[in-house]
Structure 1
Amino acid sequence: MDSIFHRTSVRQYLEKPVEEQKIEKMLRAAMAAPSARNQQPWEYYVVTSKEILGKLSEASPFAGCTKGAPLAFVACWRKECFRPDYAQIDLSASVENLLLEADALGLGAVWLGIAPIRERMDEVRKVLDIPDRLEAFAIIPCGYPVNVNPQQDRYEESRVHYVK
């Protein structure tokens, strides 16, 4: 579980493609996440087109790094799942698994939130021609990092409350 304490948000990538087997491993990790009533509401788009990556980089004021990535995952949820009110929580677990696997594979990635901001969700829908049955949740640019920075120690004992 070293990736939990190693993973950082990576926004600069080498011009090197990510191997298909690594992409599949990240998607397998994403889909191994827990979900409410095991609904598994996720679907993923894997984008390697430079043109589309450029368009996705304009979907949010924080998505500029997508343009320089060799690939981006776009996480979506299915509207028809049993508990749509839990879908964003389920997708959060899924995206975190993907990020941890990316780190374990020597890659870097960053979670760019799209949901719940309707304008950003609609822009991603337009760029990828996402069907109405899905909602865009996040863009996750991914690739080999230009450099690796150490993770900050975020543990804060004052935020832990024991009940005995």
Structure 2
Amino acid sequence: MNTLDAIKTRRSIRKYTNELVSKEMIHALLEAGFCAPSARNRRPWHFVVIQDREKLNKLAEFGKYYKMLASAPMAILVCGDSELLERDYLINDCSAAVENILLAAHELGLGAVWLGVKIDEMKEFYQTEFKLPSPILPIACISIGHPDEEREVDNRYEEEKVHYETFII
């Protein structure tokens, strides 16, 4: 699969089989995350691999957007070190790492979905549950597994949202 095909065909997958994700695949996902671009090459990210069923179930109770974690064999919590970069750049950099992980999962035949983290509301829970030191902020959580659903691939290009030189409607 080439890069553009991966970008165009990747979809959020929320249903998974019971098959575990291999250590080799997990390593490949993490390696992809570490290859993301970052402001001033600070690479502020930290990745918490979550495979413990109790922890995944606890995360699944966070709200309707986290429910798929109850059946996911794993998740990756993407965090950023706030001592390395100010918050806005930290979020940008960690988001680039998330997208790399999502594309790598797709390439490996895995399904994944990006779960947003409301930092101010959820920080204390994540810091307590996963023993994050205070400068380490939770940025995103990625639910990952072998897909048990297929999502339709559609053309998402919207010409009316493309503007050259200035924003004109």
TM-score, normalised to structure 2's length?
0.90
Tell me the SS of whatever aligns to 2:65.
coil
> Aligned-pair distance for 1:139?
1.1
Cross-structure match for 1:126: 128
Q: Is the Cα–Cα contact under 8 Å of residues 121 and 137 in structure 1 kept in the other structure?
A: no
> Aligned-pair distance for 1:12?
0.7
Output one character per residue of 1:101-135: Cα deviation in whole Å (capped at 9) or x when no partner: 0000000000000133x222222222212221211
Q: Is the Cα–Cα contact under 8 Å of residues 59 and 120 in structure 1 kept in the other structure?
A: no
Structure 1 counterpart of 2:116, from 113, 127, 138 = 113
Output one character per residue of 1:15-41: Cα deviation in whole Å (capped at 9) or x when no partner: 000011111111111110101001100
CA distance in 1 between counterparts of 2:85 and 2:126 reads 24
**After TM superposition, what 4+ stretches of structure 1 lie above 3 angstroms from structure 2?**
82-85
One-letter amino acid matched to 1:158: E
> Aligned-pair distance for 1:153?
1.6
Q: Is the Cα–Cα contact under 8 Å of residues 59 and 123 in structure 1 kept in the other structure?
A: no
Tell me the SS of whatever aligns to 1:88.
helix
CA distance in 2 between counterparts of 1:56 and 1:163 reads 44
Tell me the SS of whatever aligns to 1:142.
strand
Q: List alignment gaps of at least 5 residues for structure 1.
A: none
> Aligned-pair distance for 1:147?
1.6
CA distance in 2 between counterparts of 1:114 and 1:68 reads 19
Structure 1 counterpart of 2:50, from 31, 47, 64 = 47
Length, aligned pairs only: 163
Cross-structure match for 1:145: 147
Distance 1:120 1:151, change over 3 A: farther
Cross-structure match for 2:15: 12
Tell me the SS of whatever aligns to 2:57.
helix
Alignment of 1:29-48 (within 5 A): 29-48=32-51
CA distance in 1 between counterparts of 2:124 and 2:155 reads 36
Q: List alignment gaps of at least 5 residues for structure 2.
A: none
CA distance in 2 between counterparts of 1:124 and 1:11 reads 21
Q: RMSD of the TM alignment (CA)?
A: 1.5
Identity of aligned residues (%): 38
Tell me the SS of whatever aligns to 1:131.
coil
Alignment of 1:76-95 (within 5 A): 76-95=79-98
CA distance in 2 between counterparts of 1:151 and 1:131 reads 40
> Aligned-pair distance for 1:58?
2.1
CA distance in 2 between counterparts of 1:52 and 1:18 reads 17
